[in-house]
């Protein structure tokens, strides 16, 4: 028997493997199903598009059952006799559309090429339904390896249950669920799925599908657009760690309240007026000598930044760590997607300017969200475009390289070291032509008031110097000059 080019119907099981249930943290009492359109079927050697504007196209290697003899109201004991063959399938899904589907999986699972099946059929007669293996490789690396014995709903049970609800016709296909290991694939990845029977050596051969980048964006005037959140990312990648998300209950996942409290409009206005030179002088008077983020310069001449810190840490590049943490919705992307109005992204890049720590897309995202700016002790990619966007960035300068040359995005909203300064989420960052400083939140009101008062004094001193007075005794003011300043101030001079 050969697989029809267009089966009458395709029925897929939501969750059926113990290993997958352990990942998801739930184990259903009964099987549940969804339909896939026959237009989603493709053969080995085909391609599947990841649509424009999406990030979570995931593979699912599965055992596919091909119905032989028509089945309606069959019992579990003879259900297997209605299965003509088993083969490999890849139940591809677009998690970006899953929330809008609300369980139907019409858009998330129904795309063209989302159901590769084949290439060869294994005769089901005489097979042990619990002795069938499914394996999946991505770019030659084994990602899934399980057998039907690991299913909590047996293959005959699925056939018998479905036959209670509608007729299973010859050539219909049942996709029986995927084990642990399903994850996200990106354009250029090659996915191979094989179903075999280890005891006999019978095999479907490898079902090969190549992921390509689509060209057509979804039209918002016609229907729902892709939308993702951390739940969808976790389930698409298989775990929070694989998705590059912080562990549940961590300070990063919970968010640090100091970073989101922000500055009052009045305090922000004061800081806008105060120069970093004056602020750092007041910090020094209070015993804070390590407030400087050294080696960084503004990308826009005359730019000033004022805001509370959101922190991002890069660790040195290592191939396996970048594979695990550099892709997907990594720490860098999460922070630039979450930065708030008036906040400053502060990046620890260990002073390594040999690659960009952000580029034009992330700069545009931060600008759109109202971020006050970025401070990085590394480099900036797409420097001209970042400046054109208008986002103030203080860095060591431009570099054309992508992130993976020197860095792995590791964590956000944690204490970091940037340009020799310790920075915590919620610290106040002020940058101008003299450089960038870090002010502890508990000191900021006191420091800025003192700095502005000193600015008033310095302005008065400057008028005296311009009038021809020597600086000796005037800068800093001795008792005589202080009395004159106090008198002029009282008169409103």
In the chain, what are the domain boundaries?
Answer: 10-214+221-237, 259-442, 446-490
- 121 is written with which tokens? 């059929």
Q: How confident is the model at residue 256 (pLDDT cuts 50, 70, 90)?
A: very low
What is the mean pLDDT of the segment spanning 243-267? 63
Given a contact cutoff of 8 angstroms between Cβ atoms, the answer to whether 469 and 485 are in contact is no
- Mean pLDDT, the chain, whole residue set: 90
- 423 is written with which tokens? 């920075």
Q: How confident is the model at residue 3 (pLDDT cuts 50, 70, 90)?
A: low
Given a contact cutoff of 8 angstroms between Cβ atoms, the answer to whether 349 and 371 are in contact is no
Annotated binding-site residues for substrate read 359-362, 381
Strand partners, 398: 380
Strand partners, 368: none
Cα atoms in the 13 Å half-sphere on the side-chain side of 340: 17
Size of the chain, expressed as the number of residues it contains? 493
What is the mean pLDDT of the segment spanning 78-98? 95
Asked if the model's pLDDT at residue 320 lies above 60, the reply is: yes
Q: How confident is the model at residue 372 (pLDDT cuts 50, 70, 90)?
A: very high
Annotated binding-site residues read 359-362, 381-382
Q: Please report the pLDDT score of residue 86 as a whole number.
A: 97
Q: What is the pLDDT of residues 401-438, one digit of tens each?
A: 887 789 999 988 889 999 999 999 999 999 999 999 99
Helix (H) or strand (E) holding 136: strand 133-138
Asked if the model's pLDDT at residue 98 lies above 70, the reply is: yes
Share above pLDDT 70 across residues of the chain, in percent, rounded to a whole number: 95
* Alpha-helical runs (H) found in 110-201: 155-163
Q: Please report the pLDDT score of residue 257 as a whole number.
A: 40
Q: Please report the pLDDT score of residue 261 as a whole number.
A: 54
Q: Nearest-CA neighbor of 98 among 229, 264, 214, 282?
A: 229
What is the mean pLDDT of the segment spanning 96-119? 89
End-to-end CA distance of the chain: 101
Task: Give Cα 340 to chain centroid, integer Å.
Answer: 17
**Exposed, middle or buried, 77 (CB in 10 Å: 0-12/13-18/19+)?**
exposed
**259-442: which CATH topology?**
Glucose Oxidase; domain 1 (3.50.30)
Asked if the model's pLDDT at residue 209 lies above 60, the reply is: yes
Q: Please report the pLDDT score of residue 77 as a whole number.
A: 94
Q: Please report the pLDDT score of residue 238 as a whole number.
A: 87
Q: How confident is the model at residue 284 (pLDDT cuts 50, 70, 90)?
A: very high
What is the mean pLDDT of the segment spanning 104-117? 93
Given a contact cutoff of 8 angstroms between Cβ atoms, the answer to whether 52 and 149 are in contact is no
Given a contact cutoff of 8 angstroms between Cβ atoms, the answer to whether 144 and 138 are in contact is no
Q: Please report the pLDDT score of residue 104 as a whole number.
A: 84
Q: What is the pTM of this model?
A: 0.56
Annotated binding-site residues for Mg(2+) read 382
Asked if the model's pLDDT at residue 4 lies above 70, the reply is: no
Q: Nearest-CA neighbor of 2 among 134, 123, 182?
A: 123
Q: What sign does the CA torsion over 428, 299, 370, 376 have?
A: negative
Given a contact cutoff of 8 angstroms between Cβ atoms, the answer to whether 398 and 379 are in contact is yes
Task: Give Cα 439 to chain centroid, integer Å.
Answer: 30
What is the mean pLDDT of the segment spanning 219-228? 82
Q: What is the pLDDT of residues 13-27, one digit of tens each?
A: 999 999 998 888 888
**10-214+221-237: which CATH topology?**
Fumarylacetoacetate hydrolase; domain 2 (3.90.850)
């Amino acid at each position: 028997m050969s697989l029809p080019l267009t089966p009458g119907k395709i029925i897929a099981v939501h969750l059926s493997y113990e290993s997958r249930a352990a990942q998801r943290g739930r184990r259903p009492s009964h099987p549940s199903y969804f339909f896939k359109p026959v237009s989603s079927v493709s053969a080995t050697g085909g391609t599947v598009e990841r649509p424009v504007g999406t990030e979570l196209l995931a593979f699912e290697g599965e055992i596919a059952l091909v119905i032989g003899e028509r089945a309606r109201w069959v019992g579990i004991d003879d259900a297997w006799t209605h299965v003509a063959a088993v083969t490999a399938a890849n139940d591809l899904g677009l998690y970006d559309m899953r929330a809008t589907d609300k369980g139907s999986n019409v858009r998330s699972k129904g795309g063209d090429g989302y159901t590769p099946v084949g290439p060869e059929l294994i005769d089901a007669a005489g097979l042990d339904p619990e002795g069938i293996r499914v394996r999946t490789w991505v770019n030659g690396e084994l990602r899934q390896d399980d057998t039907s014995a690991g299913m909590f709903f047996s293959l005959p049970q699925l056939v018998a249950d479905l036959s209670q609800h509608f007729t299973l016709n010859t050539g219909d296909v049942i996709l029986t669920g995927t084990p642990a290991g399903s994850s996200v694939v990106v354009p250029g990845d090659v996915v191979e799925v094989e179903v075999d029977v280890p005891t006999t050596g019978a095999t479907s051969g490898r079902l090969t599908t190549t992921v390509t980048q689509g060209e057509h964006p979804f039209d918002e005037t016609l229907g729902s657009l892709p939308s993702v959140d951390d739940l969808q990312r976790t389930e698409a990648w298989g775990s929070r760690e694989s998705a590059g998300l912080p562990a549940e209950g961590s300070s990063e996942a919970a968010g640090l309240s100091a970073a989101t409290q922000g500055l009052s409009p009045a305090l922000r206005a004061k800081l806008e007026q105060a120069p970093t030179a004056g602020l750092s002088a007041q910090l020094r008077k209070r015993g804070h000598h390590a407030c400087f983020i050294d080696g960084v310069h503004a990308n826009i001449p005359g730019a000033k930044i004022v805001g509370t810190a959101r922190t991002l840490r890069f660790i040195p590049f290592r191939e396996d760590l970048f594979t695990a943490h550099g892709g997907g919705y990594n720490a860098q992307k999460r922070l630039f997607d979450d930065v708030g109005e008036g906040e400053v992204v502060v990046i620890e890049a260990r002073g390594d300017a040999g690659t960009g720590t952000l580029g034009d897309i992330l700069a545009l995202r931060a600008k759109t969200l109202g971020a006050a700016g970025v401070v990085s002790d590394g480099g900036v990619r797409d420097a001209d475009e970042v400046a054109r966007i208008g986002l103030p960035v203080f860095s060591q300068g431009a570099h054309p390289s992508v992130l993976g040359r020197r860095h792995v995005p590791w964590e956000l909203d944690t204490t970091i070291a940037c340009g020799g300064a310790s920075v915590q989420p919620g610290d106040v960052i002020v940058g101008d032509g003299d450089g960038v400083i870090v002010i502890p939140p508990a000191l900021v009101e006191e420091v800025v008031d003192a700095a502005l008062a000193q600015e008033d004094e310095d302005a008065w001193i400057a008028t005296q110097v311009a009038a021809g007075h020597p600086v000796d005794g005037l800068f800093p003011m001795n008792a005589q000059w202080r009395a004159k300043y106090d008198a002029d101030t009282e008169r409103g001079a």
